[in-house]
């Protein structure tokens, strides 16, 4: 109720609110869509044109080239190339076409690029496939490695568990922000790689 009142106070009319809250009816009903998809799977078996195949391969190789640096993750693997081809086949099937054309590969590339920008971009804006492949990006794994080394070094100095404030201070010297340190420590605690010996004092397991 409070949210609706805030919207009303923003100057938006009740007619606009009512219209925005209406249930949107799909252009194609779900039952019809299921039948359509089933028909295409049973009857349409697209063959890819040479031009379309080259288009997908060039796109795939272009992405792989981004991973040529020694410390750079490869954005896509051979498995993703197979996925590109399956998407192109699906695009042709939707058109009830037995041929995969350049239009289909254009559509696939638009979809893939939009998806990669949403889910495979790290905090620097760089594509990082490790976010998909292993659950976190390479830059995040590097920070975790550095932080564990910091805790281990401080633990050797203290001969006991290390205060959180000292971990944060040493990590900031390495360019890792306080919020990031606290987040990583929480994750390491969750998976059992570090223990909180006493209040905000940690040690490597």
DSSP string of 139-196, one letter each residue: HHHHHHHHHHHHHHHHHHHHTS-EEHHHHHHHHHHTT--HHHHHHHHHHHHHTTSEEE
- Select the more confidently predicted residue: 14 or 3: 14
Confidence of residue 2 (pLDDT cuts 50, 70, 90): very low
DSSP string of 69-109, one letter each residue: STTPPPS--HHHHHHHHHHHHHHHHHTT-SEE-HHHHHHHH
Please state the rounded mean pLDDT for residues 124-133: 53
pLDDT, position 79: 78
- β-pair partners for 163: 201
pLDDT digits (tens, 9 = 90+) for 30-88: 899 999 999 999 999 999 999 999 999 999 888 777 656 555 555 556 777 888 999 99
CA 86 to chain centre: 20
Q: What are the structural domains, with CATH classification, of the chain?
A: 44-133 (1.10.8), 138-204 (1.10.10.10)
Instruction: Kindly report the pTM of this predicted structure.
Output: 0.51
């Amino acid at each position: 109720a409070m949210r609706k009142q805030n919207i009303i106070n923003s100057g938006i009319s009740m007619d606009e609110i009512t219209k925005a809250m209406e249930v949107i009816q799909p252009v194609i009903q779900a039952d019809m869509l299921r039948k359509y998809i089933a028909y295409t799977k049973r009857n349409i078996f697209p063959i890819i044109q040479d031009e379309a195949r080259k288009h997908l391969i060039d796109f795939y190789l272009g992405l792989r080239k981004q991973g040529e640096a020694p410390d750079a993750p490869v954005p896509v693997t051979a498995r993703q190339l197979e996925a590109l081809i399956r998407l192109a086949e699906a695009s042709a099937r939707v058109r009830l076409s037995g041929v995969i054309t350049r239009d289909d590969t254009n559509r696939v590339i638009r979809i893939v690029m939009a998806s990669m920008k949403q889910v495979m971009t790290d905090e620097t804006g760089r594509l990082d496939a490790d976010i998909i492949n292993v659950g976190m990006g390479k830059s995040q794994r590097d920070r975790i490695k550095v932080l564990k080394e910091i805790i281990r070094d401080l633990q050797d100095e203290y001969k006991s568990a290390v205060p959180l404030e000292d971990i944060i201070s040493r990590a900031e010297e390495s360019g890792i922000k306080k919020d990031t340190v606290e987040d990583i420590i929480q994750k390491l605690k969750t998976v059992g790689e570090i223990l909180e010996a006493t209040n905000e004092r940690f040690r490597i397991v």
